[in-house]
Amino acid sequence: MPDPLYSNAYTQGFPVLPVPGGTAAPLGLKGFLALTSGSVTMVFRESRNIAPVTFPIVAGTVYPFHIDFFTAGPGTILGLK
């Protein structure tokens, strides 16, 4: 799998931990890399005032979703900016 940080789309990567209720400062991610398979619950930047969305992720996949909050999930992700 190619490293997403070697592309022009992302310049930084860091581990992201869930924030219950999404009450922390917004992450402002351009995307994320799934490190493990599972499901995650996130709040998308475009729908901050709407309930969080839960969806499955597959390890080794880069998801180009703009995320403000990572609220829960057994899946582990690497945030990309």
Question: Residue 16: inside a domain, yes or no?
Answer: no
Q: What average pLDDT does this structure show over 35-55? A: 81
Question: Residue 9: inside a domain, yes or no?
Answer: no
Question: Residue 20: inside a domain, yes or no?
Answer: no
Greater pLDDT, 76 or 32: 32
Please tell me the pTM assigned to this model.
Answer: 0.79
- Residue 11 pLDDT: 79
Collect all residues with Cβ–Cβ distance below 8 Å to 9 and sequence separation of at least 6.
30, 31, 64, 80
Range of the domain at 56: 28-81
- Residue 14 pLDDT: 84
Question: Residue 8: inside a domain, yes or no?
Answer: no
What's the total number of domains in the chain? 1
47-73 residue pLDDT tens: 656 778 888 999 999 999 888 888 888
Q: What average pLDDT does this structure show over 14-39? A: 81
